[in-house]
Amino acid sequence: MSWIGTSELELVLRRARARLQRNGLRVEGDFAVKAAAEAPDLHRLYQAITGRSAVGAKTMTFSLGGLNTFLSSPLNGGVGLLETLGPLVDRSAEKASALAELEGGLAEVEALLAGSRWASYVEVLAGERNRLGLIKSGALRDAAAVLARLPASGVPLTQLATDATGNSKSLGEGAVRRLVLRVLAADLDVPEPTTTAQRKELWAHFGVAVDAVSSTVLVVGLRTVGDHPLARFLNASADIGGPVALTLAQLTRWPLVVDAPHIYVCENPAVVSAAMLSKISCPLVCTQGQPSMAANALLAKATGTIHWRGDFDWTGLRTTAKAIQQFGATPWRMDTATYLSGLGAGESEAFKKDRPCESPWDPTLAAEMRHAGRAVMEERLIDVLLDDLR
C-alpha cells in the first residue's frame, strides 16, 4: 500500500517538521504523534515504518531516522525526509541569532548610559516583552540616547529628539517617548504619565520644554552681551525701562550672556510694575510663579550675583533652595525678620494645601512659618524690595 498523500502520513510529517526545526534540522531523535480521528489508520502506518504493532495505542513514537529510511524507499517515493518536507527553518539557529541580537542591543544601551544616572535603569528601559522588536526598530537605542542627554537645561523637545535620534518627531509619540517617560517616572517614583499635562510636567522636571514658545520669563532693566537681534532688542528696552517677555524659543536661538554685577529675581509681576513706576533700572527678572525653563535658561548665563526671592510659602522656600543650589543664588529678603515683619503688617492667608519644607539658609524661617501657618506674599513687601532695588 502507498501512504503518499494520506492523512496519516501528512500528520506524521507535520510532527516531524516541528521536531526537525527544533533540533537544528538533524535527522536524529524521536517524536511522538497522538492518535487522531482524521488519521484512523495511523497504527498501520506506524507498523509499516517501525515494524511494530501499535493497535489501540493513543500515542506512537517515531524516529526521524526511521521515517527518513521509510520515505527513501522507492516504494514510498524515494525521497528523503528533508527533501520531502521542503524548505525548513532552523529554529534553534534562529533563536541563537535572536539571543545574540538581543544581547548586542542591550550592550549598546548599557554603553550609551554608562557612567550616567540612568545606568541602573537598563532593565526598566528594556522591560517590555517585545524588547527584541524594540532593538530591531532602534527604539531602545534611541531612548537610551535621549536619556543620556538628560537632565537638560531648557532644551526644546524637538531639539532633544533631533540631537538624540536624528528625527525631530521621535518624542512626539510612539515607542521612544513611551520608553523614556517610563524611566523618568521610575526615577521620580511616580506613575507613568497618561495625559498631555502629566507628560509636559514630567519633561519639564528634567529640563525639557514641550512648547518652547509658551515658556517665558519677564525682565526689565536687563542688559546683555552680544550683537544679535535679541540682545539689541533687550538692551534697547533696558534704555527706556520697558518690560520684555522672553520665550525659551528666543533664548535657544539667541543665547544671552547677562553681564551685570547684580541681578534680582522676584516671583510676582506686581514687583516689576512697581519698579517700572519708580523708574528703577536695576536688572530685575520675574519668574511669574514657578521658575520656567525660559527663566532657568536665562539665569544660567548670568555672570554676576543672583539675588533670589519668592513668596513666603512652601513653594517659595523650595524654589529659593533650588536657586541656591542651581545658580549659587543669594536669598533676597528671604529671612525670618522679613517674614515676621510682613506677617505683622496685615491679615495673611493660610497656607494652601502643600508639603512643608525646610529653609537651610535660615532654619528659623521655616520653623516660624510652620508655627504661624500663614503665607506672606511679595506684594506686601514691595516698598522694602524697592528700597533694595534703588
Cell matching residue 316? 517659595
Give the model confidence (pLDDT) of 235-287 as tens digits: 999 999 889 999 988 888 888 888 899 999 999 999 999 999 888 888 999 99
Q: What is the pLDDT of residue 245?
A: 94
Report the pLDDT value the prediction gives residue 77, as an integer from 0 to 100: 79
Q: Which amino acid is at 221?
A: G
Q: Would the pLDDT of 94 be above 80?
A: no
Residue 100 pLDDT > 70, yes or no? no
Which sign does the torsion angle of CA 300, 306, 312, 317 carry?
A: positive
Percentages helix, strand, coil for the chain (3-state, rounded to 5) are 50, 10, 35
CA atoms within 13 A on the CB side of 254: 15
> How is the chain split into domains, by residue range?
7-89, 92-209, 216-389
Residue carrying the nine cell digits 539658609: 361
Q: What is the mean pLDDT of the chain?
A: 88
Per the structure block, which three cell numbers stand in for 361?
A: 539658609
Is pLDDT at 372 greater than 70 in this prediction?
yes
Model pTM? 0.58
Residue 220 has pLDDT above 70, yes or no: yes
Examine the pLDDT at 105 and tell me if it is beyond 80.
no
Cβ-based neighbour number of residue 340 at 10 Å = 17
What is the Cα–Cα distance from 72 to 69, expressed in whole angstroms? Answer: 5
Q: Which band of pLDDT confidence, cut at 50, 70 and 90, is reported for residue 359? A: very high
Minimum mean pLDDT among 81-85, 130-134, 181-185, 329-333: which range? 130-134
Return the pLDDT at 346.
Answer: 74
Domain 216-389, CATH number (from 3.40.710, 1.10.287, 1.10.155, 3.40.1360): 3.40.1360
Please choose, from the candidates 79, 52, 73, the residue with its C-alpha nearest in 3D space to the C-alpha of residue 63: 52
Extended strands (E) in 95-195: 155-156
The span from the CA of 72 to the CA of 62, in Å, is 16
Tell how far CA 224 is from the center of its chain.
Answer: 34
Cell of 247: 520665550
